[in-house]
Amino acid sequence: MAVDTVIYHNPECGTSRNALAMIRNADIEPHVVEYLKTPPLRALLVQLIERAGMTPRELLREKGTPYVDRGLGDTSLPDDVLVDAMMAHPILINRPLVVSPLGVKLCRPSEAVLDLLPADQLGAFAKEDGEQVVDVSGQRVV
């Protein structure tokens, strides 16, 4: 299906891989941006954060990043400093961030991507850990 969808993806991340697989399970081939190799420009990152209705702090990833070493837990730091840190260390950008005609969202948990897809799932889907997310009729499992 020709739907303009972008996923800011880290192939080493299970959540990101699951979100990508659900996009494809809706017969949508997204533009995959491996943001650790090709980070978004600063203006685009700021725009994505705003469109997602988030703050830069809400997009910051702590686990496996220089978050603590850079003192980013200091809640008095202004947004510009946090964005600068993400630009200097893209691993600080949480993932997967998905852009579709229905909006922009940090898809954690991965099944949050289903809210952004303008097409139904083609069939059953289970996450890598075996958790069933979509049933055989393509409906979200609640």
List the catalytic residues.
13
Please give the structure tokens belonging to residue 102: 């229905």
Q: How far apart are CA 105 and CA 9, in angstroms?
A: 13
Provide the b/e sequence for 60-94 (b: ≥16 CB within 10 Å): bbeeebebeebebeeeebeeeebbebbbebbbbbb
Tokens of 30: 């997204």
The Cα–Cα gap between 116 and 4 comes to: 11
Specify whether the CB–CB gap between 136 and 124 falls below 8 A.
yes
